[in-house]
Structure 1
Amino acid sequence: MIVRSRSPLRLGLAGGGTDISPYCDTFGGCVLNATINMYAYCTIELLEAQDGITFIAQDLKTEFHTPLTKYIELSGELQLHKAVYNRIIHDFNNDRPLPVKVYTYSDAPPGSGLGSSSTMVVTILSAYRHLLKLPLSEYDIARMAYEIERIDCRLSGGRQDQYATTFGGFNFMEFYENERVIVNPLRIRHSIINELESQLMLYFTGVSRSSAKIIDDQIKSTSDEKRLEAMHEVKNLAYTMKECLLKSDVNGMSELFKHAWLAKKSTSSSISTKQIELIEDKVLSAGAKSLKISGAGGGGFLMLFVEPVRRLEVESALKQFDGLIQPFRFTQQGTESWSV
């Protein structure tokens, strides 16, 4: 038997960082995000027992194999693949091992700021759900993906990515203590989505970064008055950004990007870099209206608001850097899986 799945990556439009403990546990966090037509993919083949277990991350050119077992040590490479397998076997297969070959691939590298790691966990879980006919809801999948990353693998990070890719579309998410999450899907007029796609540029800086240091800084924000005020501002701007989006005020969203970028940079000294500041100066001089980073910061993808009539000028300014302009469209569908 063969099953496949795919899950969309996301753009963090506002509120990123307020979904991280202890901030959201103490003050409540909120994030506005939207999924795009870049994906993480998974194929699972069910094999014979003697074939053992194989994980192949095709984009990373990494492979892992072990004889059939009910638990794989979480060490070395492909830790997320191993952790998902362990959770599935323990929670849903009565500790009976599964002989599987798991292939994965992502349209974005780890550290891109598009939630690629969490998206990969969700898409692998989605494939197992289809393979074993598991009665898991969207909230169940997202919560399990969060636990696998943050508890099983002990990786620092927030909560928005797992829910964004599972639900898909434009969502306003609220995060509270005791792991309570509320996902509010937003109905956005097609003409406004068209205008957002016309004005937004996605630019990969060419630098993949580890978000751990930035996230650790944000974790400490509740004990630093200046950073705490910046986090409050990030959260407040998410509410205002949502209002602009629902009222079809794209220019208002562009203006809020300026304030959101300044507030986000105030939550950690690692969010911006000299290279990002240089890119910012060049694109604003060339006609971009505003920009901000997607994800934790330090590299990855930049989102730029640009009037369509100035787009070519901004593209020309970006040619002096080593990055890449990434075409994209917004998508409404979350994680999907199917049999072959």
Structure 2
Amino acid sequence: MIVSKTPYRIPLSGGGTDLDFYYKKNNASLLSLAINQYVFVSLLERKIDDNYFIQTSSTQFTSKIENIKSDLVRETLKYFNIKEKLHIATYATIPTRTGLGSSSAMVIGLINCLKKFKNLKINDNQIIKAAYIIERKKCNLYGGWQDQIISQKGGLTQISISKDQKIRIKKLTIKSNIKNIIENNFLLIYTDVKRDSSKVALSQKNRKKHIMKYYDAIKSLNKPVISALNNKNYNNIAKIFNLHWSYKKKLSSKITSNNINDFYRKLLKNPNFLGGKLIGSGGGGFILMVVKNKKKSTSILRKRKIKYLEFKIENNGSKILRNWL
């Protein structure tokens, strides 16, 4: 059995500029962070069986790869021309469709399992590109490059994409002051709403002529975020996140809702909650919130029965945990 462990991610700034309609015109630039929440993928060859056994959100036996119901699993196996019958199972530490890049993490994890199983000679960049093609082209899940990159690379990472799709990836050194502010003053607060990220992102593409200026503004926040992190200035980060959120809400009517806006406003009424933004494509999932005092903030959330997630930085990308073949 081969088991992979792949981290989820949080976009800190510039998220969405990695969508093709934007970077092909204005270049992309963003800052993203891998966290200690994961998807695990296990793979085992079924040597004396004629069926694939697939366990994701549902369970399926099928003799033909074309009949596998999970689009991501099916298209990944087809992409790498897998002929062997396999048992593939996925396990996640958080719910899917919550804005943390779960689909990409699963595909990246499965590719790394197949790399080990078939002894494929592919490097990080080839894995990232394959995952992008599988998700965006084969499964028609509209989105950018950020999720695949962070799941494979991990850490705190700057990503830039040129108009001709040349991708530059730079992992930043995580100094103690950056680590402290992220792990002591950041919380993920769950809106209790799931959404289809592809539909939210596609709604923006359909309005691209009207929203380029907002993405320009979002991209301009990269340097201020890095500066505030280096200076351990959580008040400035909160202000930047609030500004980011004000721009993001103008991208599409699917980004937010009255319930989410009310939820966010009620949080900010307490002085411990300084500012934040809905992460991922929008529409639901988690709010990345900057807090003044983490202990007091989590106590307030528990009293209000609001779900939240504390997290740490994950500096490693997808990796193989076990190989029992």
User: For this structure pair, what is the TM-score category when the shorter chain's length is used for normalisation?
Assistant: over 0.9
2:319 aligned with 1:333: no
Aligned residue identity for 1:262:
S
Distance change (3 Å), C-alpha of 1:180 and 1:319: farther
Q: After the TM superposition, which of the residue ranges 131-140 and 211-220 deviates more from structure 2?
A: 211-220
> How far apart in 1 are the matches of 2:238 and 2:32?
15
Which of 199, 203, 223 is matched with 1:213 structurally? 199
Aligned residue identity for 2:262:
L
Structure 1 position 265, deviation (Å): 1.1
Which of 150, 154, 177 is matched with 1:191 structurally? 177
Check whether the contact 1:279–1:318 (CA below 8 A) recurs between aligned residues: no
Q: Which residue of 1 aligns with 2:136?
A: 150
Q: Which residue of 1 aligns with 2:79?
A: 87
> How far apart in 2 are the matches of 1:273 and 1:149?
27
Q: Which residue of 2 aligns with 1:45?
A: 44
> How far apart in 2 are the matches of 1:315 and 1:46?
47
Q: Which residue of 1 aligns with 2:120?
A: 134
Residues 214-259 of structure 1, C-alpha deviation per residue, up to 9 Å, x if partnerless?
A: 21232134311xx221111011112332333345444332221111
- Give the number of aligned pairs: 322
TM-score where L is the length of structure 2? 0.93
Check whether the contact 1:188–1:246 (CA below 8 A) recurs between aligned residues: no
Check whether the contact 1:9–1:36 (CA below 8 A) recurs between aligned residues: yes
> How far apart in 2 are the matches of 1:83 and 1:326?
32
Structure 1 position 20, deviation (Å): 0.5
Aligned partner of residue 72 in structure 1, secondary structure = helix
2:82 aligned with 1:72: no
Aligned residue identity for 2:263:
I
Distance change (3 Å), C-alpha of 1:6 and 1:317: closer
2:87 aligned with 1:101: yes
**Structure 2: tracts of 5 or more residues without a match:** none
Distance change (3 Å), C-alpha of 1:46 and 1:25: same
**Structure 1: tracts of 5 or more residues without a match:** none
Distance change (3 Å), C-alpha of 1:154 and 1:73: farther
Q: Which residue of 2 aligns with 1:290?
A: 275
> How far apart in 1 are the matches of 2:297 and 2:132?
41
Aligned residue identity for 1:160:
Q
Distance change (3 Å), C-alpha of 1:319 and 1:299: farther
Check whether the contact 1:11–1:33 (CA below 8 A) recurs between aligned residues: yes
Aligned partner of residue 117 in structure 1, secondary structure = helix
Aligned partner of residue 159 in structure 2, secondary structure = strand
Structure 1 position 121, deviation (Å): 0.6
Check whether the contact 1:188–1:245 (CA below 8 A) recurs between aligned residues: no
Aligned residue identity for 2:52:
I
Distance change (3 Å), C-alpha of 1:313 and 1:249: closer
Q: Which residue of 2 aligns with 1:305?
A: 290
Distance change (3 Å), C-alpha of 1:146 and 1:85: same
Aligned partner of residue 22 in structure 1, secondary structure = helix
Check whether the contact 1:171–1:183 (CA below 8 A) recurs between aligned residues: yes
2:153 aligned with 1:167: yes
Check whether the contact 1:114–1:295 (CA below 8 A) recurs between aligned residues: yes
Residues 148-177 of structure 1, C-alpha deviation per residue, up to 9 Å, x if partnerless?
A: 000111111111000011000000111223
TM-score where L is the length of structure 1? 0.89
Aligned residue identity for 2:314:
T
Residues 181-212 of structure 1, C-alpha deviation per residue, up to 9 Å, x if partnerless?
A: 11111112123212221111111111111123
Residues 259-308 of structure 1, C-alpha deviation per residue, up to 9 Å, x if partnerless?
A: 11111111112212112111211111112110101101111011110111
Identity of aligned residues (%): 25
Residues 80-108 of structure 1, C-alpha deviation per residue, up to 9 Å, x if partnerless?
A: 1111111111xxx6xxx112101111122
2:17 aligned with 1:21: no
Check whether the contact 2:291–2:297 (CA below 8 A) recurs between aligned residues: no
Residues 11-54 of structure 1, C-alpha deviation per residue, up to 9 Å, x if partnerless?
A: 11111111101111111111211011100101101121534211
Aligned partner of residue 334 in structure 1, secondary structure = coil
Q: Which residue of 2 aligns with 1:252?
A: 236
Distance change (3 Å), C-alpha of 1:333 and 1:182: same
Aligned partner of residue 131 in structure 1, secondary structure = helix
Check whether the contact 2:177–2:230 (CA below 8 A) recurs between aligned residues: no
Distance change (3 Å), C-alpha of 1:211 and 1:159: same
Aligned residue identity for 2:235:
N
